């Protein structure tokens, strides 16, 4: 149990640190994500083979479902790194952490579940956190723009999670991750030829690191940890992702968040942690 718990913590730490690559890699967000999945896909393929899991799907319509999920993953990651690019790691992670707000409204649409009153209350708290972070309601402001992209990233992540729960129940998380990353790679590949970038050697090494260690390895660790760690416990630990990312950005990038960002982040992360700690039912 202790080893699996450590795996969850390490994976969440890596998830949080992945946001820093948006500042380190001197490429547009769409190409950062392309590089990420380009190196993650073969790494995940190796892990699948090592685990003895196939990549063929049971039904033809499952290829369509996973393609849709791959599209959502691509949008989620591109908007996530765009938020980092135009603002700060803290702004991105705080605004992205609003995804439980969207989940509250999406789950009743896809499942036979009532709209949660407590979920609504926690969502209002999260929105107050966002209102604290935004300096002015103008997209010309870089911080506001960063919040905008971060919220879009959170919304697409929420939809991705809900659709995963509804349509992808017969496959392992590794198989789902492999297909979603592969579809994202195919969808984003044309941008390489349109933008015709010239990555530096350091950009290449950073993308390899992001794809293999901070994507394939971290997801594998998280999934392996879930074998013994209850999902509820893992959800609580996952609330530390923005904390790890913000602290790392302060130390490694010198991005010290202001009082409003810290206060807004505490409201959002606190609501998210409470929802994980005290699930309804």
Task: Tell which residue, 196, 245, 175, has the closest CA to residue 28.
Answer: 196
| Rounded Cα–Cα distance for residues 34 and 53 (Å) | 25
Domain hosting residue 101, numbered range: 2-277
Distance linking the first and last C-alpha atoms of the chain: 26
Please give the average per-residue pLDDT across 4-27, as a whole number. Answer: 90
Which among 103, 83, 104 is positioned nearest to 93, based on CA atoms? 83
Query: CA–CA separation, 255 vs 88, rounded Å?
Result: 7
Question: Which of 78-92, 178-192, 199-213, 227-241 has the lowest average pLDDT?
Answer: 227-241
| DSSP assignment string, 40-102 | HHHHHHHHHHHTT-----SSHHHHHHHHHHHHHHHHHHHHHHHHHHHS-HHHHHHHHTTHHHH
Q: Lowest-pLDDT range, 64-78, 165-179, 181-195, 224-238?
A: 224-238
Computed over every residue of the chain, the mean pLDDT equals 84
For the chain, the C-alpha Rg in angstroms (whole number) is: 18
pLDDT surpassing 90 at residue 29: yes
Tell me which of 13 and 121 has the higher pLDDT: 13
State the pLDDT at residue 189. Answer: 97
| pLDDT (tens digit per residue) in 37-70 | 999 999 999 988 888 887 888 888 888 888 999 9
Q: Is the pLDDT of residue 260 over 90?
A: no
Question: What digits encode the pLDDT tens for the residues 147-176?
Answer: 899 999 989 988 888 887 766 677 788 888
Reference 219, options 211, 231, 228, 207; nearest CA is 211
Per the structure, the count of domains in the chain is 1
């Amino acid at each position: 149990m202790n080893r699996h718990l450590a795996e969850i913590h390490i994976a969440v730490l890596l998830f949080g640190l992945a946001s820093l690559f948006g500042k380190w890699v001197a490429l547009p967000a769409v190409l950062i994500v392309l590089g990420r999945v380009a190196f993650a896909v073969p790494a995940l393929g190796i892990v699948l083979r090592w685990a003895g899991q196939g990549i063929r799907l049971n039904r033809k319509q499952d290829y369509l479902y996973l393609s849709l999920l791959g599209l959502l993953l691509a949008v989620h990651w591109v908007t996530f790194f765009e938020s980092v690019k135009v603002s700060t790691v803290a702004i991105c992670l705080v605004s992205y952490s609003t995804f439980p707000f969207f989940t509250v409204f999406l789950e009743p649409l896809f499942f036979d579940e009532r709209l949660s009153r407590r979920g609504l209350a926690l969502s209002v708290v999260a929105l107050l956190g966002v209102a604290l972070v935004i300096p002015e309601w103008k997209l010309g402001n870089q911080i506001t723009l960063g919040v905008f992209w971060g919220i879009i990233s959170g919304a697409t992540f929420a939809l991705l999670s809900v659709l995963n729960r509804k349509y992808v129940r017969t496959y392992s998380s590794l198989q789902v991750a492999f297909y979603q990353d592969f579809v994202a790679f195919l969808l984003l590949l044309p941008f390489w030829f349109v933008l015709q970038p010239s990555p530096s050697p350091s950009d290449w090494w950073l993308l390899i690191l992001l794809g293999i260690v901070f994507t394939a390895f971290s997801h594998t660790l998280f999934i392996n940890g879930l074998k013994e760690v209850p999902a509820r416990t893992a959800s609580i630990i996952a609330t530390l992702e923005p904390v790890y990312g913000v602290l790392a950005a302060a130390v490694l990038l010198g991005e010290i968040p202001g009082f409003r960002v810290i206060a807004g982040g505490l409201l959002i992360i606190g609501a998210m942690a409470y929802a994980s700690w005290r699930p309804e039912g």
